[in-house]
Amino acid sequence: MAWKVASPLARRPLARTKLGLGHGCTREGWGPWGADTFAPTELKATGTAHFFNFLLNSSDYRILLKDEDHDRMYVGSKDYVLSLDLHDINREPLIIHWPASQQRIEECILSGKNSNGECGNFIRLIQPWNRTHLYVCGTGAYNPICAFVNRGRKAQVRGGRDEGCEGSGRRWVDGTGWVSLALLSADEELYAGVYIDFMGTDAAIFRTMGKQTAMRTDQYNSRWLNDPAFVRAQLIPDSSERNDDKLYFFFREKSADAPLSPGVYSRIGRICLNDDGGHCCLVNKWSTFLKARLVCSVPGPDGIETHFDELQDVFIQQTQDTKNPVIYAVFSASGSVFKGSAVCVYSMADIRMVFNGPFAHKEGPNYQWMPYTGKMPYPRPGTCPGGTFTPSMKSTKDYPDEVINFMRAHPLMYHAVYPTHRQPLVVRTNVNYRFTTVAVDQVDAADGRYEVLFLGTDRGTVQKVIVLPRDDMETEELMLEEIEVFKVRVSLSYTLCRQQLYVSSAVGVTHLALHRCDVYGEACADCCLARDPYCAWDGSACTRYSASSKRRSRRQDVRHGNPIRQCRGYNSNANKNAVEAVQYGVEGSTAFLECQPRSPQASVKWLLQKDNSDRRKELRVEGRVLRTEQGLLLRALQLTDSGLYSCTATENNFKHTVTKVQLRVLSSRAVHAVLVQAETPPGLPGAPTPRYQDLLQLLTQPEMGLLDQYCQGYWRHTAASPPQPLAGLKAKEQQDQKKPRNRRNHQPETYGHT
């Protein structure tokens, strides 16, 4: 039994072979499927993005597993499982078509669950089971199905064993989506944070399969879990003793203290892997479950903090010490008044300190949360059996009843976990988007190591942000660039050893390069001001920085971005790439002069040198003049607005010209006379009328052809319809007003008016 490889030359549906999974389950074998799709023009032109070009009748793509040993990436979507090459996601993709049964889909629709298309088999779990097989689960239209799939070797798949698709996994797969999962393949045990009932009211953290007893959290106990949304699960060892290993869960839940106006709190919870539950109390339920609040807030001058309470994503940055990874978390605040996003960083030392601190306890006349100060039972609740502190206790069933009862009533820690330096690393407020996911890379540059954050948003963009150290243990964040990958919410997946970033969304998957040095321009100053640790000036171009390269002409200054010091001898070329254009406008209409510096941190000024004058004055933004992020808008043009407009960008005391536009304003009377000079258009082709020739004499030679083409097109349009010169003029003006004003790809010489 083998999986078929999708041929790179085949971009059309081919026959697929049914393969049995046993117990009434079926799946379809790996096979090709395709039709070309189109990537965004800019990314495709620069060759820095590779989109998955096999069009499937699917949605909700999620990168669920990266197998770097076999150079494969596994993606789950609606009714499909994809195995893609890590180097080239379009090279010999392997595809399994695995829909829910038609009978189950009909039953799901009758139950009223298909309002948003949920009645499908959404793949939510792909985890390695052993060296040869994967464990794959899907929602099965609210009737979960699971199977063992032979992972194969590169493009070939060997015969796999048929396993039951039902069984233990059937009880705990939710219908709308898994969001926090961890499979420990060494012990063949699956841990999951899910809702287990059809109505979505019973949330639990489960352990199933494997040799140990099946476990779950206390059912319908709001002190433990109160309408949670699970985000991530991660195994993090506490010490060299394996019995101390704990599984950490990241989730958000509603506050149980204010049922009438429930707030949302972000949490970090943990359990011991060798937890067997209690002997009399909490039988087959976790007896080591603890949780603490995860705080991401901006402190105010008066001590009042602004909180970002909704946890969206977590990224675990591994270090040389496996016991102390760095945790990056994305939060959002979506209140009716304040909206924003933030990224906070946490250390395991701070997390362990909170879990070793006092327990939260309600007491007093107002029944308020207070630190528990009573007698602490032994062993301390939350301690793993057989570990460093309890070597004589081999199971949690050996714990005294007072420990189990205390654990059941006190799962919450009193202190909260605060981020490093007690403030966020990145903050966005008053913007029309939210951060949804994060991936982090540690980059070595010429002047040190830097954190580069890739932040996905709910509008389909990926922001590339660098964090720079400052004095007094503070940091500064700079957004290097923002790339539009999709039009919808995205999720990120990052492979450290291969330096690759993968982006998934509801509509597809793409692979992005971590650096695009060539877009920073051809001048040393532009490359230096970019402050991108991936890039450096090599003497002739902005290229990928390599620490092993020892070139005398290499220039890079990430921390300060000072081109005056770094680019001596090259600054004379800083202005040679300034765009010089000629643009025409008509008196009384509107003109837009585009200017977008490469660096978002640059300050922009506009200078105007009027005709017959050698002086340049700074243009004041008032009245008819409006400055935007994309350029300068001039409304109700006047003849006196003609002149040379220079856009200058200044950053770190370095000033250079970005663009120059020679604006020429035409008299509205002359243009109007040309358009309405005769009710009967001249023969085509034919010489222009005397009035037309008079107007052409007002223009310089290079623009004559363009205006002639414009007028000939106008007359050709009026020749096919009744003569209505004034109506045609109004229609043309309305059409011009609707033209996009962002001329990113204009040539050095452009003509026309708006």
Q: Reply yes or no on whether the pLDDT at 556 is more than 80.
A: yes
pLDDT digits (tens, 9 = 90+) for 340-368: 999 999 999 999 999 999 999 988 777 78
Helices (H), 547-660: 563-566
Q: Which domains does the chain have, with CATH numbers?
A: 1-175 (no CATH), 515-573 (3.30.1680.10), 579-666 (2.60.40.10), 669-737 (no CATH)
- Which pair of structure tokens corresponds to residue 488? 């919808």
Of residues 31 and 138, which shows the higher confidence score? 138
Of residues 234 and 49, which shows the higher confidence score? 234
Query: 339-371 burial, b for 16+ CB within 10 Å, e for fewer?
Result: bbbbbbbbebeebbebbeeebbbeeeeeeeeee
Q: Reply yes or no on whether the pLDDT at 25 is more than 50.
A: no
Q: Specify the pLDDT at position 494.
A: 65
Q: Specify the pLDDT at position 41.
A: 56
- For residues 730-747, average pLDDT: 39
- For residues 218-230, average pLDDT: 91
Strand-strand pairing, 72-77 and 80-85: antiparallel
Q: What percent of the chain has pLDDT over 70?
A: 74
- At 338, the pLDDT band (50, 70, 90 cuts) reads confident
Question: What is the C-alpha separation between 468 and 174, in angstroms, rounded?
Answer: 42
Question: What is the C-alpha separation between 62 and 301, in angstroms, rounded?
Answer: 42
Q: Which helix (H) or strand (E) holds 266?
A: strand 264-272
pLDDT digits (tens, 9 = 90+) for 683-709: 545 445 555 555 555 554 444 554 555
Q: Specify the pLDDT at position 384.
A: 94
Per the prediction, the chain carries an average pLDDT of 77
- At 742, the pLDDT band (50, 70, 90 cuts) reads very low
Q: Reply yes or no on whether the pLDDT at 29 is more than 50.
A: no
pLDDT digits (tens, 9 = 90+) for 71-113: 888 999 999 999 998 888 888 888 889 999 999 999 888 888 7
Q: Residue 331 to residues 258, 337, 341, 415, 537: CA-CA distances in angstroms?
A: 21, 17, 6, 19, 36
Question: What is the C-alpha separation between 59 and 676, in angstroms, rounded?
Answer: 54
pLDDT digits (tens, 9 = 90+) for 492-518: 776 655 677 888 888 888 888 888 888
Question: What is the C-alpha separation between 526 and 104, in angstroms, rounded?
Answer: 59
Question: What is the C-alpha separation between 311 and 342, in angstroms, rounded?
Answer: 10
Coil/strand/helix, residue 326: strand
Q: Reply yes or no on whether the pLDDT at 721 is more than 60.
A: no
> Using an 8 Å Cβ cutoff, are 36 and 64 in contact?
no
Range with the poorest average pLDDT among 43-47, 309-313, 352-356, 630-634? 43-47
In DSSP terms, 592 is beta-bridged to: 633
- At 719, the pLDDT band (50, 70, 90 cuts) reads low
- At 671, the pLDDT band (50, 70, 90 cuts) reads confident
Q: Specify the pLDDT at position 709.
A: 54
pLDDT digits (tens, 9 = 90+) for 564-599: 787 876 655 555 556 688 888 889 999 999 888 777
Q: Reply yes or no on whether the pLDDT at 312 is more than 90.
A: yes
Question: What is the C-alpha separation between 264 and 292, in angstroms, rounded?
Answer: 13
Which residues are within 8 A (CB) of 176 and not within 5 positions of it... i.e. 6 or more apart? 118, 139, 195, 200
Query: Model pTM?
Result: 0.78
Range with the poorest average pLDDT among 650-659, 716-725, 744-753? 744-753
Q: Reply yes or no on whether the pLDDT at 19 is more than 50.
A: no
Q: How many CB atoms lie within 10 A of CB 160?
A: 20
Say how many Å lie between the first and final Cα of the chain, rounded: 65
Question: What is the C-alpha separation between 494 and 440, in angstroms, rounded?
Answer: 8
Q: Which helix (H) or strand (E) holds 268?
A: strand 264-272
Range with the poorest average pLDDT among 275-284, 475-484, 646-655, 705-714? 705-714
Of residues 598 and 639, which shows the higher confidence score? 639
Coil/strand/helix, residue 330: strand
Q: Specify the pLDDT at position 342.
A: 95
